[in-house]
Amino acid sequence: MKTKVLVTGANGQLAKTIHKLCIQNDKEIDFTFVSKNDLDITEVEDIIKHLVHHNYDYCINCAAYTNVEEAEKNSEKAFKVNAESVKNLAKVCKESNTVLIHISTDYVFDGEKGEPYSTNDMPNPINEYGKSKLKGEIYIQDILEKYFIVRTSWLYSKEFGHNFYRTIIEKTKTEKKLFVTNNEKGCPTNTINLSNFLIDLIKTKSKKYGIKHFCDAVEMTWFDFAEKILKENKLLKKITLVGAKKYLTFARRPRNSVLINTKD
């Protein structure tokens, strides 16, 4: 019998990547992908209708409010989606005996540590997005025993969604000079690699529940990443890339959000 998996946030870059991979390769898992139109995780009845009535073995929650800048101005919405809705999702997962795989973020840390962050480090978010995601994590840990909270960093798809990788390429079509901060460091993570990690958790039927860190493990600044993208696409000669020490944003961002990958 196939393992049944519900994936929320179907229109996002991660869910679209999982969908592409499973369509191409997977015969062991029966995936169901739902967008906000199919399942609004802010509505408890929607969650119950999908989870309790369909006997899913796993739920991968890719649905989230991810606009870091807007979260500062509309923290109520960020907390509704990233925290309160996650609490309801966790409750229904417990009722339906569904393992929750929840995608979280490096932004639960303040970035003041001089070394990479492990799962044992104490979170201390410095913006509303990070605070809302941490609150969601706490709800899951309080409610569930069978869960995976997977923190990742600087997630991007070369094919899907609005992200740093695709934005840099688009900028070369209209800009002659590009200013990118070199004052923050992290680990850019390809959605393909994260998707394979999540699928592997399911295929191996891992019982090592709890918080996991997953990233592509190559530390760099946003400037470094922009340069890598331009080189990779042979676009470096089309635009002048300038490192910016002071890059003003509404939300504070951690200077160091490098994660140590979980080994088991």
- pLDDT for 127-140, tens place per residue? 999 999 999 999 99
- Which pLDDT score, from 0 to 100, does residue 248 have? 60
In a domain? residue 180: no
Q: What is the DSSP code (8-state) at residue 244? A: E
* Domains held by the chain: number: 1
In a domain? residue 176: no
* Domain at 145, CATH number: 3.40.50.720
* 246, pLDDT greater than 70: no
> Out of 129, 139, 147, 156, which one is annotated catalytic?
129
Range of the domain at 56: 3-160+189-213
In a domain? residue 231: no
Q: pLDDT confidence of 28, banded at 50, 70, 90?
A: confident
In a domain? residue 50: yes
Is 107 catalytic? The answer is no
Q: pLDDT confidence of 24, banded at 50, 70, 90?
A: low
In a domain? residue 230: no
Q: pLDDT confidence of 75, banded at 50, 70, 90?
A: very high
Angle of helix 13-25 relative to helix 191-203, nearest 10 degrees, comes to 60
The predicted-structure confidence for 179-230, as pLDDT tens digits, reads as follows 999 889 999 999 999 999 999 999 999 999 999 999 998 999 999 999 999 9
Phi, psi (5° rounding) for residue 152?
Answer: -135, 175
